[in-house]
Amino acid sequence: MAMKTAYSEHKDEKAAAAEIADTLNFKVPTAVLFFASSAYDPQAIAKAVGDALPMTTTLGCTTAGELVDRRMLSGSLVACGLYDDDLEACQASLIADPADEQARRKAFAAIASAADDPLAPDPSRHVGIVLQDGMLGTEEAMMNTLSSISNVPFVGGSAGDDRAFEHTHVFLNGQAMEGGAVLLMLRPKRPFAILKTQSFDVQDRVLTATEVDEASRTVIAFDGKPAAEAYADALGVAVSDLEENFMRHPLGLVMADGEPYVRSPQQLRGSDVVFYCQVKQGVRMNVLSSRDIVADTRRDLERSIAELGSCSGIINFHCILRTVELLAKGQSEAYGDLFSGYPTLGFSTYGESYIGHINQTSTMLILG
Amino acid sequence: MAGKVHELIEELVKLRSAGSGSDHFLRAHLMLNGIDPNEFDEASADDPDVVAQLQKMIDDFKRKG
């Protein structure tokens, strides 16, 4: 059976939850993943969804825009149901303090109880979903723990708040939490794939981070020069024009096969460059140049689905910066059309999760 | 001393491959933690911070949850 999607544009939390439950509850879902605009009261929407689906594990987070099937929405509630036809097992856990390594390990151990071998879940049969507070800055620590203790791949995103950048929430079973994280372990009955797609050419120009403040995600110097000056030189622009080039020219950690892991600059602070993710001391990053998001996503999505052989649903963690670019270029509808025919759920994130905390991607779980 | 970083990377690759981990997953994990596996070979000088970081990764994976 295909993953089932639903959405509501009701402004009232109970009415919105009732509308999605009406669609999803034709049989009791094993799990419902839901993404809610920050326009809803977070406690009220979490409780309403939990009350409307009392026999189901319900989890989700707030957003900077919602995606459902072909639609890119704002101010809405979107959800998908996963059923016992699709899943052999699933287990969720809420982390109140993601900065605490023991709390992260304990949560992983809790969800690993759903695995065939809880001490060593088979990464070909299990996949994790991770939803994190988008304002706390603990995503790297979380992903480092998950990627260090297990080979199970986790995908997910950082919760948004419609670009207010003040308060974000995660949800589990009727509870909303600011500053928390939710983990979900799935053992799907059919094969699955993870797609991380970004739309950048890798340029030859390289910047080495020679002085950083990891905790504040700040680069103070590249190649021994003030970061802003070195970055502007690499792009061939004046420092005064640097910020307007950030979205089109982020930096990338480039793998041996040429795949970049994008590190997106957020703002200048004096001569420092503040990023949306941590930059480690000494790393070499290539300058990237943006390409067409719709064309690249189409190519990568078609390839992934062809390799998988079928697609019963897609969960798409889509960077807010890509949403902003699609809107600016009038390409939102064309992007949505890429998912035509596939039940799709997603949201515009404050960062995506896959192996680490990454930027300017669409990172998707594709269910076969 | 030289080559310890390379040796620990190889140990980590072997350990995680035995658990069906993908090569891409591990290499990306290392890169995101500031360690480029391609920069180290048997002759590379040992950076104590990188050695400690890799040893923790090995211990973490052995210890699991």
Q: Can you give the residue ranges of every domain in chain A?
A: 4-196+296-367, 200-290
Determine the residue of chain B that is closest to A118 in CA distance.
B65
d(CA A361, CA A199): 8
In angstroms, the Cα distances linking A139 to A53, A84, A294, A350, A355 are 29, 31, 27, 10, 11
Tell if the CB–CB gap between B36 and A105 is shorter than 8 Å.
no
- Closest residue in B to A107 (Cα) is B65
* A-to-B residue pairs, Cβ atoms closer than 8 angstroms: 71
Q: Sorting pLDDT into bands at 50, 70 and 90, what band is A194? A: very high
Contact between B11 and B40 under an 8 Å Cβ cutoff? The reply is no
pLDDT in tens, A210-223: 999 999 999 999 99
pLDDT band at B17 (very low <50, low <70, confident <90, very high): confident
d(CA A153, CA A129): 9
Q: Name which of A352, A289, A348, A354 is nearest A322 in CA terms.
A: A348
Has residue B18 got a pLDDT over 90?
no
Among chain A residues, the shortest Cα distance to B38 is held by A256
Three-state secondary structure of chain A: CCCEEEEECCCCHHHHHHHHHHHHCCCCCCEEEEEEECCCCHHHHHHHHHHHCCCCEEEEEEECCEEECCEEECCCEEEEEECCCCEEEEEEEEECCCCCHHHHHHHHHHHHHHCCCCCCCCCCCCEEEEEECCCCCCHHHHHHHHHHHCCCCEEEEECCCCCCCCCCEEEECCEEEECCEEEEEEEECCCEEEEEECCEEEEEEEEEEEEEEHHHCEEEEECCEEHHHHHHHHHCCCHHHCHHHCCCCCEEEECCCCCEEEECEEEEECCEEEECCCCCCCCEEEEEEECCHHHHHHHHHHHHHHHHCCCCEEEEEEEHHHHHHHHHCCCHHHHHHCCCCCCEEEEEECCEEECEEECCCEEEEEEC
The beta-carbon neighbor of B28 closest among A123, A355, A357 is A355
pLDDT band for A127, please (50, 70, 90 cuts): very high
- The answer on pLDDT for B64 being more than 70 is no
Residue A322 clears pLDDT 60, i.e. is over it: yes
> Which residues of B fall within a CB distance of 8 Å from A150?
64-65
Residue of chain B whose Cα is closest to the Cα of A254: B31
What distance in Å separates the CA atoms of residue A196 and residue A192, rounded to the nearest whole number? 14
The structure tokens 């403040």 sit at A213
Record the tokens describing residue B30, joined without a space: 């290392």
What is the nearest CA distance from A110 to chain B, expressed in angstroms? 9
Cβ atoms A315, A195 nearer than 8 A: no
Residues B43, B53: Cα–Cα separation, whole Å: 19
d(CA A260, CA A149): 24
Mutate to test the interface with B, among A281, A355, A359, A361 (most CBs of B within 10 A): A355
Encode pLDDT of A267-285 as tens digits: 999 999 999 999 999 999 9
Beta strands A284-290 and A31-37 are unpaired
Tokens of A95: 């982390």
Inspect the interface and report whether the beta carbons of A149 and B64 lie closer than 8 Å. yes
Q: How far apart are CA A180 and CA A208, in angstroms?
A: 33
Q: Which residues of A touch B33 (CB under 8 A)?
A: 144, 280, 356
Decide: A361 and A262 in contact? Cβ < 8 Å: yes
φ, ψ for residue A327, nearest 5 deg = -65, -45
CA–CA separation, A170 and A267 (whole Å): 26
Give one word for A353, left, alpha or beta, with left for phi > 0 and alpha for psi -120 to 50: beta
Q: At what angle do helices A13-24 and A42-52 cross, to 10 degrees?
A: 30
Q: Quick check: A97 and A170 in contact, CB under 8 A? A: no
For chain A, give the percent of residues with pLDDT over 70. 100
pLDDT digits (tens, 9 = 90+) for A59-82: 999 999 999 999 999 999 999 999
**Token pair 């021994």: residue:** A224
The answer to whether A365 and A311 have CB atoms below 8 angstroms apart is: no
Percent of chain A with pLDDT over 90: 97
Residues of A in contact with B57 (CB under 8 A): 148
Chain A residues in contact with B20 (beta carbon < 8 A): 122-124, 151
Per the prediction, chain A carries an average pLDDT of: 97
Task: Pick from A144, A151, A183, A219 the residue to mutate for testing the B interface (most B CBs within 10 Å).
Answer: A151
ipTM score here? 0.91
pLDDT greater than 70 at residue B65: no
